[in-house]
């Protein structure tokens, strides 16, 4: 069974909510990425999203744009990310999703990239700029490889398109709780409950809510409406603050542990 599917099934059995953490791969370097992944597994992170550095990250706010830039500066390539996933797999089974722009997949060759990702131990791909209407061949290749195509739904997505997206999604659905790009916010959106309810009319997949969730209180609030909470920019910002520190992993793992504790306490 795919590790993402298995993890959410286990969370459902336990009556727990999940924590999805995003970091930029190669920020500050790929060895740090490997060590952070192992620490996140110990900190009860349920899914790790690795952002594959790209020169034009159009869906990302400043914090994650800078992480992508640092990843590129450290020499990180898609092949290097896959090698790092394979290294992580030697020590732990944390579910891993690559957060990636399609140009990188196209350059590598879609069939080859998906096969290489599965071989390395990737469990799903979240392709930011691949419209579901143009993803039939991609979806077939993902199914053949046993990978989950993760799709985004936004507050502005009309219901007929939600239905179409949900039909093609596997693993979980990523609900973007705010319009615009990634980034930390002072409060969570007040439409999350309404939108997750609408999505559930068309899918029984777990819903993970992200964009703008920055601290344990916000994460716990969002967990009332979703099966999982996604935190990215706050973690990436912590990496940026301690990237040259020998205790980088301990600093970042401490933040993530606080998020996990808040989400996994009984609501």
Query: Strand, helix or coil at 13?
Result: helix
Three-state SS letters, 104-143? HHHHHCHHHHHHHHHHHCCCEEEECCCCHHHCHHHHHHHH
**Number of domains the chain contains:** 1
Q: Taking CA 163 as the corner, what is the angle to CA 161 and CA 167, rounded to the nearest 5 degrees?
A: 115
pTM of the model: 0.95
What residues are labeled active site? Answer: 49, 60
CATH number for the domain that contains residue 257: 3.20.20.70
Compute the distance between CA of residue 239 and CA of residue 243 in angstroms, rounded to an integer.
Answer: 5
pLDDT, tens digit only, all 267 positions of the chain: 899 999 999 999 999 999 999 999 999 999 999 999 999 999 999 999 999 999 988 878 889 999 999 999 999 999 999 999 999 999 999 999 999 999 999 999 999 999 999 999 999 999 999 998 899 999 999 999 999 999 999 999 999 999 999 999 999 999 998 654 444 444 566 789 999 999 999 999 999 999 888 899 999 999 999 999 999 999 999 999 998 889 999 999 999 999 999 999 876
Residue 26 belongs to what domain range? 3-264
Alpha carbon of residue 131 to chain centroid = 18
């Amino acid at each position: 069974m795919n590790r993402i599917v298995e993890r959410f099934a286990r969370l459902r059995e336990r009556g727990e909510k999940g924590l999805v953490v995003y970091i930029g791969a190669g920020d500050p370097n790929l060895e740090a990425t490997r060590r952070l992944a192992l620490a996140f597994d110990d900190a009860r992170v349920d899914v790790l999203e690795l952002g594959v550095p790209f020169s034009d990250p159009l869906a990302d706010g400043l914090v994650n744009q800078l992480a992508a830039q640092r990843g590129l500066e450290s020499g990180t390539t898609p092949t290097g990310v896959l090698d790092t996933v394979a290294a992580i797999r030697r020590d732990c089974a944390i579910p891993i999703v690559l957060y990636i722009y399609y140009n990188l997949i196209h350059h590598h060759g879609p069939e080859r990239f998906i096969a290489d990702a599965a071989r390395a131990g990737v469990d799903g791909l979240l392709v930011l700029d691949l419209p579901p209407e143009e993803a039939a061949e991609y979806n077939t290749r993902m199914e053949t490889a046993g990978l989950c195509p993760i799709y985004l739904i936004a507050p502005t997505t009309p219901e007929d398109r939600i239905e179409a997206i949900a039909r093609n999604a596997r693993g979980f659905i990523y609900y973007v709780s705010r319009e615009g790009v990634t980034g930390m916010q002072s409060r969570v959106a007040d439409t999350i409950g309404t939108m997750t309810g609408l999505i559930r009319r068309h899918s029984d997949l777990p819903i993970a809510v992200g964009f703008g969730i920055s601290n344990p209180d916000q994460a716990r609030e969002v967990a009332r409406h979703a099966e999982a909470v996604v935190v990215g920019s706050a973690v990436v910002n912590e990496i940026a603050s301690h990237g040259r520190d020998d205790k980088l992993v301990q600093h970042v793992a401490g933040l993530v542990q606080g998020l996990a504790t808040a989400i996994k306490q009984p609501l």
